[in-house]
């Protein structure tokens, strides 16, 4: 009976948390200009690349430190103290691969916005292509 009460209480808190939490909720705005979409994708690309570089550098440092700890501890005895740090370093380095791929995807979307419409110009106003030039 005590387990049922605990499970019911956990379920109530879980459902209350799930229904009231919003994680990375983007505002739906269908009236975005090419400039706004370009800026959005460029900012996402920069963020993804920055996080990817941080992950690859910190993962490399952890891997190197784990190998150094493991080599120095094996000289003085038979232990594997640095293997956990090496494993976390390799995992952190591998995490950077999808982040670089996401950055590349956002760069392609930003370039598509450049090709799709003129950035910084209003697409609603259409002018004819006739111009007159007078030189003195």
Q: Is the distance from CB of 63 to CB of 83 less than 8 angstroms?
A: no
> Residue 71: pLDDT band by 50, 70, 90 thresholds?
confident
Torsion of CA 83, 59, 57, 77, to 10 degrees: -10
Q: Strand locations in the chain, DSSP E?
A: none
The answer as to whether 11 is a domain residue is no
The answer as to whether 59 is a domain residue is yes
Domain count, the chain: 1
Which tokens hold the place of 100?
A: 């670089």
The answer as to whether 102 is a domain residue is yes
Domain that holds residue 42: 32-116
46: how many CB neighbours lie within 10 A of its CB? 13
Q: Which tens digits make up the pLDDT trace of 83-112?
A: 888 999 999 999 999 999 999 998 888 888
Whether the per-residue pLDDT at 43 is higher than 70: the answer is: yes
Average pLDDT, the chain: 78
> Residue 26: pLDDT band by 50, 70, 90 thresholds?
low
What is the 8-class DSSP label of residue 120?
T
Ranges of H-type helices in 21-82: 34-76
The answer as to whether 57 is a domain residue is yes
CA gap 30, 121 in Å, rounded: 17
Torsion-angle region of 120 (φ positive above 0: left; ψ -120 to 50: alpha; else: beta) = left
What is the 8-class DSSP label of residue 25?
P
The answer as to whether 134 is a domain residue is no
Torsion of CA 53, 59, 61, 63, to 10 degrees: -150
- pLDDT value, residue 16: 66
- pLDDT value, residue 47: 93
């Amino acid at each position: 009976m005590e387990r049922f009460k605990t499970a019911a209480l956990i379920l109530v808190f879980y459902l209350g948390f799930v229904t009231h939490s919003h994680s990375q909720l983007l505002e739906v705005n269908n009236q975005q200009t090419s400039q706004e979409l370009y800026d959005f994708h460029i900012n996402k690309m920069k963020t993804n690349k920055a996080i990817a570089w941080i992950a690859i550098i910190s993962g490399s440092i952890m891997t190197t430190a784990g190998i150094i700890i493991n080599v120095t501890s094996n000289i003085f005895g038979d232990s594997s103290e640095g293997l956990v740090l090496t494993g976390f370093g390799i995992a952190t380095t591998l995490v950077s691969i999808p982040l670089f791929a996401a950055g590349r995807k956002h760069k392609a979307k930003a370039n598509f916005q450049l090709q799709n419409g003129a950035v910084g110009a209003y697409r609603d106003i259409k002018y004819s292509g006739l111009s007159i030039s007078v030189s003195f």
